[in-house]
A and B are shown apart, each in its own frame.
Chain A
Amino acid sequence: MAWATIARRELLAYFRTPFGWTLLTVFLLVQGYSFYLFVELMAQPLAPHGTPLRLFLGGTLLYWLFLIMVVALTTMRLLAEERRSGTLETLLTAPVRPIAIVLGKYLAAVLFYVALWLPTGVYVLLAAWLAERGTLDWGSVAAGYLGTLSVGATALAVGVLCSALTAQPLIAALLCAASLALWVLLGPLRLFVSNGPLAALLERLDVLAQLDDFARGLVDSRHLLLDGSVIVFCLTAAVGHLGLRRRP
């Protein structure tokens, strides 16, 4: 299966170059430090209602800034670098369908994203150890991670599309970061719109509220369906763009 071969190579490429290890190190350092801050904050007498894990899994601006940066850096070279170096030509002239190329690359990015988040499970175990017995809601933790995976996978699909559109990885990264920033800011835009269909649409697209639902343990299938639709749209558009050269 060509998509599995491509995914394997891409995943190897993340860990074969200093880029992957640097990103992993920086990610864990920042996440570790922010988790420590959230635990300290929630231990204060005047702390807001909630748990450190709810803040950790999407409850602050830091999460979104870091998500945007990580996704842009993870996806920027996937197709743009292949186009820039010319290897896309040999890939598209091999007996491989464009959909296998896009799926393979996307799968590798998702697996790398999972590999980034996996070690943060230690923080959860730490939180469980620190909390009083029976007070940690494991359902909320699982839902929070599911939300992070769902939102991350959607953002990665946007990144893959941006990488398919250009031959410059840096431009792909900027395009991806700008698109994701707009996506995150769609929800707050609701504050400036009076009630009506537009307000309802913005509410439905509000990714901040979506992730907050997940972090509170609410798994809403509509959120998953929306994310799934965006993923399918972005990957289909990327496949279509790769196939453009084949059109008369």
Chain B
Amino acid sequence: MTTPSTTPPALLEVCELSKRLAGRQVLDRLSFGVAAGQAVGLLGPNGAGKTTCMRVICGYLSPSAGRVRVGGRDVVQEGLAARRLIGYLPESAPLHGELRVVEHLAYRARLRGLHGRAVRTEVERVVERCGLGAVARRVIGQLSRGYRQRVGLAEALLGAPPLLVLDEPTAGLDPNQLREVRELIRSLAGTQAVLLSSHVLGEVEALCRELVVLDHGVVVAQGPLEALGAGGGVALWVTIRGPLAEIRSRLEGLPGVAIAEAIELPQEPGVVRCCLSGANDAATRERVAGAVSAAGWGLQELRVERAALESVFSQLTRERE
């Protein structure tokens, strides 16, 4: 497990959080934090406990054990004060279909304690921020999935809460809607802390720099994206003009290097592409380049490729099965 990165005092503190539902341990002693202005991705396969975790953080469910604090307020003991600091978008963005967009947002703004002109000003702000101007007077029930998701996001932004909790915010969107909602979330980073859940790696990679990986209700890894990706090691791709058999035997003889794959390119006879594992440090890579040069072969390409986060994720979540 990767150690947590050093962060400023957390806005959200999840400490030894456990939750049992219907006799099943859904969350088991989770601990992580989100600092002010930070974007953290809660990643895990379906059924990992992401939604339950978010529901406990937002005060919809209570923890069976452990503690959740938002801005120093306990979500159970000081629920009302803690909930004032959170903007929450549940997975399906539930909305009142019979209301117009501005009516729904004004209703929710009043529930967040805004009054009079402040309601109108705040609704105008989030409508503009979420690009809802064109549909502001339309009935929510008639909107597309993408616009409904944006209305849900606008609702979460009302009152500019310091922490946004977004449960699968782009689930079910088409590629255009996906891009728009992602851009919107990305624009929030820095001003508000975001805890975002997803089972899609690309989603989290695109929006967050910090990750908490959840599986079967347990945190299996957490830390910066780069650190988690580095856990999977690197692959060294070398393209050499020379004889396949000799290249294979020469490179295999180098200390600390193993050939994962070596083929002669069909479109370029006499050119060999090798994939080497174990070349994690610069010295090994220099040895590879030196061996090729000493043999008089032509070094056409030497490329370092970090293991995709995907493989790290699948390794982490498979280990527990």
Contacts and interface: CB of A to CB of B under 8 A. Distances in A.
Interface of A: 2, 5-6, 9, 13, 16-17, 85-87, 89-97, 245-248
Interface string B94-129: 111111000000011011110000000000000000
Contact of A93 (B83, B95, B96, B97): B83
B261 to A, nearest CB: 49
Contacts of B35: none
14 contacts: A6-B111, A9-B99, A86-B92, A87-B94, A87-B95, A89-B55, A89-B60, A90-B155, A91-B111, A92-B59, A95-B80, A95-B81, A246-B79, A248-B65
Contacts of B99: 9, 16
Contacts, number: 68
A93 B62 contact: no
Contacts of B97: 85
Contact of A246 (B62, B86, B112): B62
B242 interface: no
B23 to A, nearest CB: 14
Contacts of A92: 59-60
B163 to A, nearest CB: 12
B166 to A, nearest CB: 13
A96 B76 CA distance: 14
Main secondary structure of the interface of A (DSSP, over half): helix
Contacts of A97: 80
Contact of B111 (A85, A89, A94): A94
A247 B19 CA distance: 11
A156 to B, nearest CB: 21
Given A9-B107, A86-B94, 12 more contacts: A2-B111, A5-B111, A6-B111, A87-B95, A90-B94, A92-B60, A93-B58, A94-B108, A94-B112, A95-B83, A245-B61, A248-B64
A239 B92 CA distance: 25
Nearest to B88: A93
Contacts of A93: 55, 58-60, 83, 86, 88
A93 B83 CA distance: 6
Contacts of A91: 111
| Pairs of residues from A and B, 5 with the lowest C-beta to C-beta distance, nearest first | A86-B94, A93-B58, A5-B110, A246-B62, A95-B84
B63 interface: yes
Contacts of A9: 96, 99, 107
The residue in B55, B58, B60, B76 that gathers the most chain A C-beta atoms within 10 A of its C-beta is B60
